[in-house]
Structure 1
Amino acid sequence: MIEATPTDVAARVADRFLTRLRARTVNGRVAHVALTGGSMGGAVLAATRDDPRSASIDWSLVHFWWGDERFVPRDDADRNALQSRNALLDHIPVPPENIHEVAGSDDGLTLDEAAYAYAAELARFGTDENPWPAFAVCFLGVGPDGHIASLFPDREEVTVTDAAALPVRNSPKPPPERVTLTRPVINTSKRVWLVLTGADKASALGLALAGASYTSVPVAGARGRKRTVFFVDEAAASEVSPDLIDQAY
């Protein structure tokens, strides 16, 4: 989906998000959602908060997780969870136990222990097939280098298939220590929604749509079981062939 500006992208994604949550929860079904950070992650959540339809969602049926988290103190502005709380979670009646944050560096756990604890929390809501929930929606931002969550190009984490969450050290993008979901968790999501804006993302988007190797361009390996959608602005779509654009979603 291509919109003119980042603001338009955020509004479109928020609209689709509320529509999906309504469809999922209207009959009492639980929806697990994996959030992302970054400017667009926050913009989508803020647009969701400001949409009047937000009041019609039964938020007690929605569980929030994160595709990755920066291993910094809980009140650090770099934390994705803090950004998500400020943009949406602190403004809706979601039960505290439905918000599944990665431990902060000030919680008394090491980085490895934080990753292990996050995997254990995921397992509490696992399915018959996997020790993690099947996300109704998994939001992903995309870096100019093609990274998703904290799965960076040509690093060991992007190839791991036998764990749900991993510690990340010496991240190419600061802060250096993080916890990330793995590719198998992302790819068992029902829907993967990738939100990216700006001309600096055009190359990564083009490589993903061209079927690049996911080890070198991790976004190329992100696939939802039911749907995979790229929500982009015109700048990010500058290298996309018109025949790859579907405006009907």
Structure 2
Amino acid sequence: MADSSGEKRVVITSDATALADSVAERFLTRLAKKSASRDVHVALTGGVSGAAVLSAAAAHAPEHTIDWTRVHFWWSDERFVRRLHPERNERQGREALLDSLPGAQVHAAPASDEGLDLDEAAQAYAAELARYGTADQPGWPTFDISFLGVGPDGHIASLFPDRPEILVTDAAVVALRDSPKPPLQRLTFTRPVINSSQRVWLVLSGTDKASALGLALAGASYASVPAAGAKGTKRTVFFVDQDAAAQVPPELIDQDY
């Protein structure tokens, strides 16, 4: 199928296990290609789907030649808890994959036990992003891939429906003190950061995600369905299993990607 930046496409696999394996293989193949000549920036996500992809990547990584010293990992959102808290996305990512990678550059958001309050932590993570900005995009690096999970309510990162954070355009990172999903305190990339990524890959599995996926593909308001507003500058792909694909229009399915 012809490439058309901004168009949303859907790739369907049989089940959650096959989904994680498929996305991991695509991810590693792209990293091997890009890291051969330059630095690569990746935004990770937490949750079940994010952890499953990273675990699958760990299993397949030895099959690929990747210069991990050129790969920078970030998180599009983080729970503001202590550094070793089991719910912290960083901990899940390190245990699933990152701690096994030689020389990978991991840019973790500040934790609650490191002496910063929530607003200071948001400012610190934004400052770290800006260190890797460019003349054209000074506030943050250009992400080659941004992974996103999608909640049953359509949220991405910690951008939840009908809340002010999804509308912020003048900051790279914002703080939440009253997240509708625990823990209450979180940090999240804003929509401009996510949408400046070359490729946005949304990973969904399970019947409880079918409605959110259908609304995102149907062009719902991103203020009410944040997943509907996620898009990459080159590609926007929803990787889903059969259970999540119940409401996918046939014309959006792109099994060739």
Judging changes above 3 Å, is the alpha-carbon distance between structure 1 residues 103 and 5 closer, same or farther for their aligned structure 2 residues? same
- Of 144, 169, 192, 1:161 maps to 169
TM-score, structure 2 as length reference: 0.94
User: Stretches of 4+ moved more than 4 A in 1?
Assistant: 52-55
What's the counterpart of residue 139 of structure 1?
147
Q: Does 1:63 align with 2:68?
A: no
- Of 94, 100, 120, 1:113 maps to 120
The one-letter amino acid paired with 2:20 is A
Counterpart of 1:236 in 2: which secondary structure? Answer: helix
Q: Does 1:242 align with 2:227?
A: no
What's the counterpart of residue 12 of structure 1?
22
- Structure 1 residue 242, shift from structure 2 partner: 1.7
Contact persistence 1:195–1:231 (CA under 8 A)? yes
Aligned pairs (5 A) from 1:13-52 = 13-27=23-37, 29-52=38-61
- Taking the aligned partners of 1:89 and 1:57, their CA distance within structure 2 comes to 13
Aligned pairs (5 A) from 1:53-202 = 53=62, 56-95=65-104, 98-130=105-137, 131-202=139-210
- Taking the aligned partners of 2:62 and 2:252, their CA distance within structure 1 comes to 31
Task: Please identify, of 125-134 and 171-180, the stretch whose mean Cα deviation from structure 2 is larger.
Answer: 125-134
Contact persistence 2:28–2:64 (CA under 8 A)? no
Judging changes above 3 Å, is the alpha-carbon distance between structure 1 residues 114 and 54 closer, same or farther for their aligned structure 2 residues? farther
Contact persistence 2:32–2:64 (CA under 8 A)? no
Contact persistence 2:74–2:107 (CA under 8 A)? yes
Judging changes above 3 Å, is the alpha-carbon distance between structure 1 residues 230 and 118 closer, same or farther for their aligned structure 2 residues? same
- Structure 1 residue 55, shift from structure 2 partner: 5.1
Counterpart of 2:243 in 1: which secondary structure? Answer: coil
TM-score, structure 1 as length reference: 0.97
Q: Which has the higher contact order (CA 8 A, sep 6+)?
A: 2
The alignment-based identity, stated in percent, is: 63
- Taking the aligned partners of 1:102 and 1:64, their CA distance within structure 2 comes to 11
Contact persistence 2:29–2:64 (CA under 8 A)? no
Deviations 1:130-182 (A, max 9, x none): 21001000000000000000000010000000000000111010000000000
Task: Please identify, of 234-243 and 84-93, the stretch whose mean Cα deviation from structure 2 is larger.
Answer: 234-243
- Structure 1 residue 129, shift from structure 2 partner: 2.2
Judging changes above 3 Å, is the alpha-carbon distance between structure 1 residues 101 and 54 closer, same or farther for their aligned structure 2 residues? farther
- Of 214, 235, 241, 2:222 maps to 214
- Taking the aligned partners of 1:11 and 1:78, their CA distance within structure 2 comes to 23
Contact persistence 1:139–1:192 (CA under 8 A)? yes
Judging changes above 3 Å, is the alpha-carbon distance between structure 1 residues 53 and 226 closer, same or farther for their aligned structure 2 residues? farther
- Of 203, 208, 214, 2:211 maps to 203
Q: Which runs of 5+ in 2 are unaligned?
A: 1-10
- Taking the aligned partners of 2:99 and 2:251, their CA distance within structure 1 comes to 41
Q: Which runs of 5+ in 1 are unaligned?
A: none
Contact persistence 1:18–1:54 (CA under 8 A)? no
Deviations 1:169-220 (A, max 9, x none): 1101000000000000000000000001000100110001000000000000
- Taking the aligned partners of 1:197 and 1:219, their CA distance within structure 2 comes to 14
